[in-house]
Amino acid sequence: MPELPEVETVRRGLLPALEGARIANAAVNRPDLRWPFPDRMAERLTGATVTALRRRSKYILADLDTGETLLIHLGMSGRMTVSGDPLGQFHHDHPTPEKHDHVVLDTDAGARITFNDARRFGAMDLMDTAKHSDHWLIRDLGPEPLGNAFNEAHLITALSGKRSPVKSVLLDQRIVAGLGNIYVCEALYRAGISPLRHAGRISAPRVAGLVPIIRDVLAEAIEAGGSSLRDHRQANGELGYFQHTFFVYGREGEPCQTPDCQEKIKRKVQSGRSSFYCSACQR
């Protein structure tokens, strides 16, 4: 499932085509994805202007001048791609529609935004912009890891007394929003913290040191266009490249990249998810 860097990469790719654009026509080609689409979704989107394109955790939020916000969740295999000319300066043919093009938005400028989702684990919803923070997918989310509310004091307090492994705690979206398996593995490696260690048994200075490391990992991943392991594509259709710089994720049995370390990367399943780590470098 796309994590924060992949969703942020898609959002940035959509910005030139969507933010400030009027949706001349919206086509909804099936009644549902993971959940049913909202009533009259195509009608409510057609004619609306996108006033802002934001991200909250792993969700893209498109604010409309109608007072509603379109929530977009990419799910396991969802892609949002742009075709045509977002700036309306030239004419470009759109690609032939594909089987899993479930939602298609055409703007006045001639751009087309297509939501394609082969496995249909994605989702879209429309909600009152003024009350968007009350939406059931958003209301319990923790602070954004790249925002000011995610700081040393918050993480120290959040981990204090926790008996669960730190890996599981960091994946809890109520603790910090948007983190997923890939980037937690990579951040814990850089911090030298074992994913198996109980969160409450990590010293405050080490917990505090995790904050800038998490920020750095996410920022580097966004700069690289995210990680393309299976389905992720940027809005222009290109792959992300951060997977080429993984230290531990997906590298079971390969040598640790820490200089002079003789260990190989291990994998352990925690709560149904694979944790990758070096038992020598991470304690």
Residues annotated as catalytic are 2-3, 58, 273
Residue 279 and residue 171 in contact, taking contact as beta carbons nearer than 8 Å: no
Amino acid type, 122: G
Strand partners, 80: 115
Residue type, 14: L
Say what the alpha-carbon torsion angle 168, 170, 172, 175 is, to the nearest 10 degrees: 140
166 CB burial (10 A radius; 0-12, 13-18, 19+): buried
145 touches 178 (CB < 8 A) = yes
Distance of CA 177 to the CA centre of its chain: 10
CA distance 68 to 51: 10
User: What is the distance between the alpha carbons of residues 95 and 112, in angstroms, rounded to a whole number?
Assistant: 10
Residue indicated by tokens 């860097």: 5
- What token pair was written down for 211? 């904050």
DSSP 85-110: -TTSSS--PPPPP-TTEEEEEEETTS
Q: Residue 2 has which token pair? A: 């796309």
